[in-house]
Structure 1
């Protein structure tokens, strides 16, 4: 006997873009909770889906010698998404600030309850010479990137993260693998979430997350060794830095529930 199954859908709204995603078993941890890396990957991906839906593809940007790089993300989890849940992700562009293009994302469950909210800062760069395009230089050619979001998100803004000078410990080294690269040829932004969790001290690894923030400072190519240094800010708060021979690769900040 045939019976209907949940299906994924996507749609444009006047303000942004929405998409349904079922949270898969392999995207979760041993407690069947969505891994932070999964939410990071969904965050990055939905921005691309939104641009594709309005006719601004990755290739069309490359043709203009432009590419977006994710610089900062913060995700505030209100209720941990669990394996099997059908989630609706809604994204909006939220104007600019200094050199950054801002994007926000909201996750809702099947009961239309917001389970997570996130904010992000992106920079627009030239792939050929690594020049950063300031927002005011591209406003006429890409007006979509200057729309704003009226939705009230329960999520703090992105901010610069730094590791304290005292109380830090080197907790390991990670060599960037082939399977971790993306189409830009460097460590994919979502994979940093799994690296952070692999090197967290064990007492933290099993705890539910309240807020996860990360700054991406320098790209990590294949074979690059990242030295991980961590610091317990308090019993519910841990900060981690990844550093290569070329400087700080990333900074991450985790608050546990």
Structure 2
């Protein structure tokens, strides 16, 4: 982790060499999800509610999902852009270094301009929490933190899975965007508004429902049963992430240099 934080510091300093460009990029990233959120707002202005969910309840879901995605896109960008390391033969250099390839790939690229997107999601989350009548407890605060952390694990796990595919395909696969960008767009709404097949897939295969929808029911007092169970459902993100690391190790063991 000491090495990882050194990677963060080095790349952060390098990106600040062009400060105007950096802050303009951050400013632009702030407004990308802003227009998505504006569409959400106008939809509720027109229809009032969706499947019994109010605007601020969905805004809470929106803020948590986009915050998790922003963290993942910022700090796990190395896996998202991993195919360039394979195509250029640069991954061979990582293999001869006496450090974990996971840490090295994570540290190969950071997108600090995504802090603009993170700031916007934080504003939406704060606004939603302010306007919702939630009876707070320590368990609910921990649940929100676990929801964000679980979401980061899932998005990062998806990045790792499709980065692993680059060992065989060389180039990155655009289908990955179906599960990253598409997963983000899907998870920003409560899961029960979708068809049964979609709910099953995004609960038991890619568990966005476990880190978003189920704990959201508990926070909004719409759930019945043991609150600890709802608080722990975001840990499904960890259960998804760990097999992704195993798949990565499998890919590394079977990697053959591009010969470039």
Q: Same fold per TM (> 0.5)?
A: no
Structure having the larger proportion of residues in helix: 2
Higher relative contact order (CA 8 A, sep 6+): 2
Structure having the larger proportion of residues in strand: 1
TM-score after normalising by structure 2: 0.28
Q: Which one has the largest radius of gyration?
A: 2
